[in-house]
Amino acid sequence: MATRTQNNMGRTIAVIGGGALLAWLLLRGRGKGKGSGGGGHGSPAVVEVWLRGGDRIELDGASSDLATTVARARAAGAARVFTAGDARQGWHQHVIDSLRAAGVELYVQI
């Protein structure tokens, strides 16, 4: 009978310990920007926008259009904008103006 009691106590300790570990893992991520779109200390998240030739946009490494780029940058709060050498100046200015009008914080590198 002593063996059965020890097994139940071992399971109980394992369940409580596992629950405590799970709670700790879930709670330690709070306040670090999870779901708030930022770095956790009031700083906005930043999307990466590359302006290419032929009026093309790459948003975080994937091909995108202007409307999607503006919407994602607005949701993130900030955009780091890079211009490739073959991008038109007018296209560059149009994208920058659209992002500014949406209230996106910009970090521009030409």
DSSP string, 4-58: HHHHHHHHHHHHHHHHHHHHHHHHHTTTTTTTTTB-SSSPBEEEEEEEEGGGEEE
Cα–Cα distance for residue pair 44/60, rounded to 1 Å:
16
12 vs 5, which has greater pLDDT? 12
pLDDT-derived band at 37 (thresholds 50, 70, 90) equals very low
Q: Per the structure block, which two tokens stand in for 95?
A: 């994208």
Q: Which of 20-34, 42-56, 88-102 has the lowest mean pLDDT?
A: 20-34
- For residue range 48-85, list pLDDT tens digits in order: 999 999 999 999 999 999 999 999 999 999 999 999 88
Q: Is the pLDDT of residue 25 over 90?
A: no
Q: Which residues pair with 64 in a beta bridge?
A: 57
